[in-house]
Chains A and B, each alone.
Chain A
């Protein structure tokens, strides 16, 4: 009962946030709406005992990806008017495509309600059930090959990003920290013994 109520509440906010993403005029606001949408989807996942996915969604998308995204969006001065040029021109095409997609989805849902087996709501596991442990067990056994390939994919992404962005600019002043740390006082200061000038010699 309460879970159902919560579901509708979170789903409603999620829908509003998703609409906000596409309708806001200011890209920064759109990004914040996206953050809200991610958050709500994480809550929906929590409702079906998928706490690992929920928390990781928040950790990765909200905590890291969207921060970097906002970073870029805030720095750019995006002219929304310019982006909206041709809006009316492409609108009919967009409406047709959207209509087709909606028809397809409705068709599939309708089709599925016609005697195809429908998955029941998964039963809730007991309090001892650890979603994280289950996922880990599957990831490192059954899907280990795909998991490792995904890791290679991330390595490739790092290599590609560095390839495309790292430039050694000529004339750039850089410190060699190891060298700085290795400096001893003898390298910089010479202690000279100077005899005191004695006027009272004579």
Chain B
């Protein structure tokens, strides 16, 4: 296959973005739905490209700066799916808020392109460019609601901290380049597989890279931006940045830490373990004190990041599979959770507080049940898929002999279950604050129900996704 075929999905996405951009410019406001449809269509097209040009093994292209393998293809298709969910959940909310502009979809597609580039990066340069593509779209998305001062504030915080993190990552990359003389991930891995290659400058570079990775994941102590950004952006944007970019963060850690710096595993294992434990502790405990659902979910994200890190800490093939499984499951859960927050909003009213979930059962038993599935899955209650996700990462850590880490994880997961179950308690056992009926379009209702039921179905048959992860990665 020629290079362009290998990168067919990326090429298609760039062209699709340009088409959507041009079409949107000439559309009158009342026909803006066409942009939405075209954006969904480009996701479908990209999925077709990714599936059609699915490689058998790992193939590099463009002078080793691009790689495509089954794992990245699967994750890309998953990312299209989640972005599609984001678009469908966001549409009505954006219309009500007067934010239904083509730029939302275009920026989101740009971010998706960044994720795709990162998933297929085989050189530090392409990884960094993909990361910037993602980050820049996210900054703009956070500030998207221009009349909201809190959105501007959180965009500013995100931008400044994100720029520092990017700088740190670049600084680390420059150290690694200085030591190895190359930016290609394969060549870097080859360099470090020689005995005695792990030197002090290399470790220094590694430390900076870890900081960059931790920031993008939002791991403690680099998590400060996360709650503010989640709370400050309008809910569709929170939905977006809360779900898909975690796949990109996974790609960053996977490509750089596991694939190219895999031989330095002994060095970064401890660093990640510290980040992991801190994230679990801070994420789970601080979440209890939140009354704002977006903030609570932000802290819940931080704790989930701790679990994703566990897979990397194990450093085994099983661990990597577990981390991938956890990441994919997490994006599904996050999409459903924020989708529920959007569902509760009406024109002129943004559901933001936990109180808004009070008595949801009385208003709509079915959607209370969907939310119950999401919360149980996040808490790790069997038979929902979140349980299996936690199970496999903990299993991989145990296999690696880190019993203390597994015990910490279990303890904090139990503590964390409290605030998820509190939401359930609010929905079923507390009287509603307001009892107006839920107002959502049919496709929204169908998709979010499917999203919630998917968590149950994957929990009943976790083997499907687990096998897929096991087949493609490692």
Contact = CB atoms under 8 A, between A and B. Distances in A.
* Contact present between A and B (CB < 8 A): yes
Most buried by B among A143, A148, A156, A164: A156
Interface in B241-273: none
Contact of B107 (A112, A116, A145, A163): A163
A111 interface: yes
A152 B14 contact: yes
A157 B136 contact: yes
Nearest to B123: A146
A93 to B, nearest CB: 16
A160 B7 CA distance: 25
Nearest to B125: A146
A71 B137 CA distance: 26
A149 B129 contact: yes
Interface in A98-121: 104, 107-108, 111-112, 116
A152 B133 contact: yes
A138 to B, nearest CB: 10
A202 interface: no
Nearest to A116: B199
B185 interface: no
A32 B139 CA distance: 29
Interface in B118-143: 123, 125-126, 129-130, 132-133, 136-137, 139-140, 143
B447 interface: no
A163 B137 CA distance: 11
A153 B140 contact: no
B204 interface: yes
A142 interface: yes
B140 A145 contact: no
Contacts of B144: 163-164
A141, A142, A164, most chain B CB atoms within 10 A: A164
Contacts of B7: 145
Interface in A114-169: 116, 141-146, 148-150, 152-153, 156-157, 159-160, 162-164, 167
Interface centre among B129, B139, B143 (most CB of A within 10 A): B129
A145 B126 contact: yes
Nearest to A145: B62
Contacts of A150: 129
A164 B65 contact: no
B140 A164 contact: yes
A153 B139 CA distance: 13
Listed residue (B7, B63, B130, B204) with the most chain A CB atoms within 10 angstroms of its CB = B63
Nearest to B11: A148
A108 B123 CA distance: 24
Contacts of A152: 14, 110, 113, 133
Given A108-B201, A144-B62, A159-B110, A164 B146 contact: yes
Contacts, number: 73
Contact of A156 (B61, B63, B136, B201): B136
Nearest to A112: B201
Contact of A146 (B106, B110, B126): B126
B133 A149 contact: yes
A164 B140 CA distance: 7
B66 interface: yes
Contacts of B201: 108, 111-112
Contacts of B14: 148, 152
- Chain B, interface size category, equals 20 to 34
Given A104-B204, A145-B126, A153 B132 contact: yes
Interface residues of A, number: 25
Contact of B140 (A104, A111, A143, A160): A160
B21 interface: yes
A108 B179 CA distance: 11
A30 to B, nearest CB: 19
Interface string B88-130: 0000000000000101001100100100010000010110011
B110 A156 contact: yes
A119 B324 CA distance: 41
B464 interface: no
A143 B65 contact: yes
A149 B107 contact: no
A163 B133 contact: no
B200 interface: yes
A159 B106 contact: yes
Contact of A153 (B62, B63, B107, B129): B129
A107 B200 contact: yes
Interface in B43-66: 61-63, 65-66
B125 A143 contact: yes
A175 to B, nearest CB: 20
B113 to A, nearest CB: 7
A146 B146 contact: no
A156 B133 contact: yes
Nearest to B133: A153
Interface of B: 7, 14, 21, 61-63, 65-66, 101, 103, 106-107, 110, 113, 117, 123, 125-126, 129-130, 132-133, 136-137, 139-140, 143-144, 146, 199-201, 204
Query: Which 8 interchain pairs have the tightest Cβ spacing?
Result: A160-B140, A145-B62, A163-B103, A142-B63, A149-B129, A156-B110, A146-B125, A145-B65
5 contacts: A108-B204, A145-B63, A156-B107, A156-B110, A160-B137
Given A108-B200, A146-B126, 4 more contacts: A148-B14, A149-B130, A156-B110, A164-B143
